[in-house]
Amino acid sequence: MSRPPKKSGAGTGQVGDARLDIAENSGAAVVRISGDWSIHAGFPSAAALLEKLPNAAPNSLVFDCAALGNYDSSLPSFLLSLLRHSETCGIVPDTGTLPPRVSRLLALSAARPKSVSAAVERIAATPAAARAAVRQRLVSASVFERIGVWSISSVRSWDKALDFIGQTTRALFNLFRGRARTRFRECWFFIQASGADALPIVSLISFLTGLILAYVGYLQMQQVGATVYVAPMVSLAMMREMGVLMASVILCGRTATAYAAQLGSMQVSEEIAALRVLGVPPVEYLVLPRLIALVFTLPVLTLYADFCGILGGLLVGSSMGVTLDQSLNMMERVMTVPNVTSGVIKSVFFAVLIAWAGCFRGMVCGKSAQAVGNAATSAAVLGITLVIIADAVFAVLFNAINFF
Amino acid sequence: MPPSDVHHEHTPVVPIIEPVPHISVRGLTMAYGDNIVMRDLDFEIRRGEIFVIMGGSGCGKSTLLRHLVGLQQPAAGAVFFNGENFTAATEARRDVMRHDFGVMYQSGALWTSLTLAENVALPLREHTQLSTREIDEIVRYKLALVGLAGFEEYYPAQISGGMTKRASLARSMALDPDVLFLDEPGAGLDPVTSRLLDNLILQIRDSLGATIVVVTHELQNIFAVADRALFLDIATRTIGALGHPVELRDNSPNPRVRHFLSRSD
Ligand SMILES: Nc1ncnc2c1ncn2[C@@H]1O[C@H](COP(=O)(O)OP(=O)(O)OP(=O)(O)O)[C@@H](O)[C@H]1O
Ligand SMILES: [Mg+2]
């Protein structure tokens, strides 16, 4: 058996590149297809061709393929697109005027005319309006249009966010009344995953944060001969701000993303729908255990991060000519109740925000693997953003009530 | 499961004159955004019948099922259960009405963090006062019914696609529901298991008197179980035909219905 020729040539030899002309002839548009058509050489756009038609357009379309050279699947691809576009414009193409082999190739793809009819179903307007709609889709979206689309979609996502806040609040309310369908057994698992398993990374990050702060402080303090203040300064910074922030950022990266991915993939596989039909509120069943777990975990992680950071500060301080005794003495002065507790108080609120961000992104996730990935990414971004904003609010608040 | 002939003669369900159909769908139009999937669906499902929803891939069978169980709100029209408007009911009322439902999803939708036994047990734990032992026994029985005895402690990730389907069926039957919605129970199963499943469906109806709504496009399943079948016509986006499958195959005025039912695959 001989190898079939690579190109299913209908004409003879080379006739030059693919060419298209459109002309009007007694009420019908005549599309002249000529030259060699190859997917490697690219082919013209059907929509652009229809653009050339005058507004008072003909309502039928015939083909003239006399000068057609070699062709491959680029030609039927183009024709299919032409058929689709002309149908939405209300023009009836006459495929009988195509060479038989071409129309057979085309018929294969027309066996499932669904996409065509779907397009017709949506745009049930006059041919001229339909043509305008097609034209508009061709013009790449303008800046204003993009801004519009963006604002509409962001308003919609606010809508969803408010809805989810409402659902979470209701679930918490049910929890306090002892009516929530929450599996507390699951909480232990989430506490382990978000807390115990995060200890190594929290140790490292907060120790290094303490170390860095100490170096920065040391360079300044040295100039006024006050290096003895390095250790208390680091302690203060860790306890009030950096400890809780570092722990929160780690939770956003490790746990909020995990929550979003877990709930997102449950959304994709219809597990959440199954819960809903069973009459089990997904928020109570899935979100509350995660939220409760973080409310326990983050304060503990915060205290632990404070401790590691202070250790880092001490290390630098005592290697730069201040004795450990001196440092500890100075540190005692900043170990006041407000300083120690402010980070922990904040951590409770941050925990709620982080769990909420992760679960929210998971619950509103779309139905694809890509959407799950996006949910995880945006959970981390949302979580960190919320935490920083809340931290700023707390800074103002603590200042206002003199919580020092 | 006692062996019985799958190709048994169809005795059409005794037409009990019933004032209120179990499920009725009135003027239902389903859409995703402004993309209409099906419009103006009007049909009734009688108590105790096996009602098949059939049609080509992507015609909206699963979407219809989601509307029937209230996971999606219709663009127009309503669904009634026992004469009560399900679509317009409050979410709380719908939850109560859903206690009588069992749903098997096309993707299985088993809860991945729970074992098969826990999956089947969850509906029982949520909606009954049974003791752990009783729940455990029911779970074992339901899993055995679908041929999954011995797999109680497996997680959904550890079983095959066909087993996922069967486990999902077991879960949907957990509460002995009044109405069972099955989305493509036979898809992805070998012919033998698929027949066992047909048998099981017939027996559930006969022994429990449940109304069963089955989505499928497999002819075998359709002819084996259907009392009546609804054909969703993708070309017209509405009901193509409704009736006994044999009757439809031979006498339906709609050529697409006859073609769908007499294709050989
Ligand atoms: N989430 C969605 N968003 C938008 N369109 C959707 C969505 N889900 C389904 N559709 C569309 O709705 C139509 C019906 O889908 P559906 O899943 O109900 O089909 P089906 O009849 O169950 O098909 P199959 O036999 O392949 O399962 C399809 O054309 C599909 O494109
Ligand atoms: Mg489906």
Phi, psi of B9, deg, nearest 5: -65, 145
Closest CA to A372 of A219, A364, A231: A364
Please give the distance of CA B71 from its chain centroid, rounded to a whole number: 15
For range B170-175, the mean pLDDT: 89
ipTM (interface predicted TM): 0.79
- Does B112 touch chain A if contact means CB atoms closer than 8 Å? yes
Amino acid letter for position A53: L
- Portion of chain A with pLDDT greater than 90, in percent: 38
Give which of B81, B125, B126 to mutate to test A binding, by max A Cβ within 10 Å.
Answer: B126
Pocket flag, ligand 1, residue B106 (CB < 6 Å): yes
Who contacts A318 (Cβ-Cβ below 8 Å, separation ≥6)? A324, A327
Q: Give me the pLDDT at residue B111, please.
A: 93
Q: Of B188 and A207, which is predicted with more confidence?
A: A207
B238 Cβ below 6 A of ligand 1: no
Distance of CA B241 to the CA centre of its chain: 19
Q: What is the structure's pLDDT at B262? A: 85
Query: What per-residue confidence (pLDDT) applies to A239?
Result: 93
Ligand 1 contacts CB of residue B58 (under 6 A): yes
Nearest to A360 by CA among A390, A389, A382: A382
pLDDT of residue A4: 39
Closest Cα to atom 5, ligand 1: which residue? Answer: B32
Copy the structure tokens of residue A324. 């450990």
Helix (H) or strand (E) holding A33: strand A28-37
Q: Do B126 and A270 touch (CB under 8 A)?
A: no
Q: How many A from CA of B223 to the centre of ligand 2? A: 19
Q: Average pLDDT of A39-68?
A: 77
Q: Which residue intervals of chain A bear CATH 3.30.750.24?
A: 11-110
Q: Is B52 in the pocket of ligand 1 (CB under 6 A)?
A: no
Which residue on chain B is closest to A274 by alpha carbon? B109
> What is the tens place of the pLDDT at every residue in A322-352?
888 888 888 888 888 989 999 999 999 999 9
Best of A270, A272, A285 to substitute, by most chain B Cβ atoms within 10 angstroms, is: A270
Confidence of residue B18 (pLDDT cuts 50, 70, 90): low
| B68 touches B213 (CB < 8 A) | yes
Q: Tokens for B192, please give them.
A: 């033998």
Ligand 1 contacts CB of residue B63 (under 6 A):
yes
A49-to-A20, A21, A62, A63, A71 alpha-carbon distances in Å: 8, 8, 14, 13, 19
B103: nearest CB among A118, A181, A274: A274
Token pair of B61 as six digits: 């069978």
Task: Assess whether pLDDT exceeds 80 at residue B142.
Answer: yes
Judged against a pLDDT cut of 80, whether residue A109 lies above it is answered with: no
Contact between chains at B112 and A114 (C-beta distance less than 8 A): no
User: What are A65-102's pLDDT values in tens digits?
Assistant: 888 888 887 788 888 888 877 777 778 888 788 888 88
CB contact under 8 A, B126 and A280: yes
Counting one residue from chain A and one from chain B, the pairs whose CB atoms sit within 8 A come to 54
pTM: 0.72
**What is the overall mean pLDDT for chain A?**
83
Residue B58 Cα, ligand 2 centroid: separation in angstroms?
7
Residue B247 exposed, middle or buried by CB count within 10 Å (0-12, 13-18, 19+): middle
- Whether chain A has a CB inside 8 Å of the CB on B109: the answer is yes
E-strand spans in chain B? Answer: 23-32, 35-45, 50-54, 76-81, 84-85, 101-104, 179-183, 211-215, 228-233, 238-243
- For residue B39, what are the CA distances in angstroms to A15, A143, B24, B35, B186? 51, 36, 15, 11, 27
Tell me the shortest Cα–Cα distance from B193 to chain A, in angstroms: 24
Of B34, B38, B61, B68, which is best to mutate to test ligand 1, by the most ligand atoms within 8 angstroms of its C-beta?
A: B61
Atom of ligand 1 nearest to the CA of B64: 18
- Binary contact (B98, A274; C-beta < 8 A): no
pLDDT tens by residue, A160-198: 888 889 988 988 888 888 877 788 888 999 999 999 999
Instruction: Domain A11-110: state its class.
Output: alpha beta
Q: How far does B71 lie from chain A, in Å, by closest CA?
A: 7
Closest-CA distance, A72 to chain B, in angstroms, reads 30
> What average pLDDT does range A23-30 have in this prediction?
78
Q: Nearest 5°: phi and psi at A34?
A: -140, 170
DSSP 8-state secondary structure symbol assigned to residue A57? -
Does A273 contact B105 at a Cβ distance shorter than 8 Å?
yes
From the list A122, A181, A273, the residue facing B109 with the nearest CB is: A273
Task: Give the pLDDT confidence score for residue B41 in this predicted structure.
Answer: 92
> Is some CB atom of chain A closer than 8 A to the CB atom of B126?
yes
Q: What is the mean pLDDT of chain B?
A: 86
The answer to whether the Cβ–Cβ distance between A271 and B110 falls below 8 Å is yes
Contact yes or no for A277 and B98 at CB 8 A? yes
Instruction: Check if B120 contacts A (Cβ < 8 Å).
Output: no
Q: Does B259 touch chain A (CB under 8 A)?
A: no
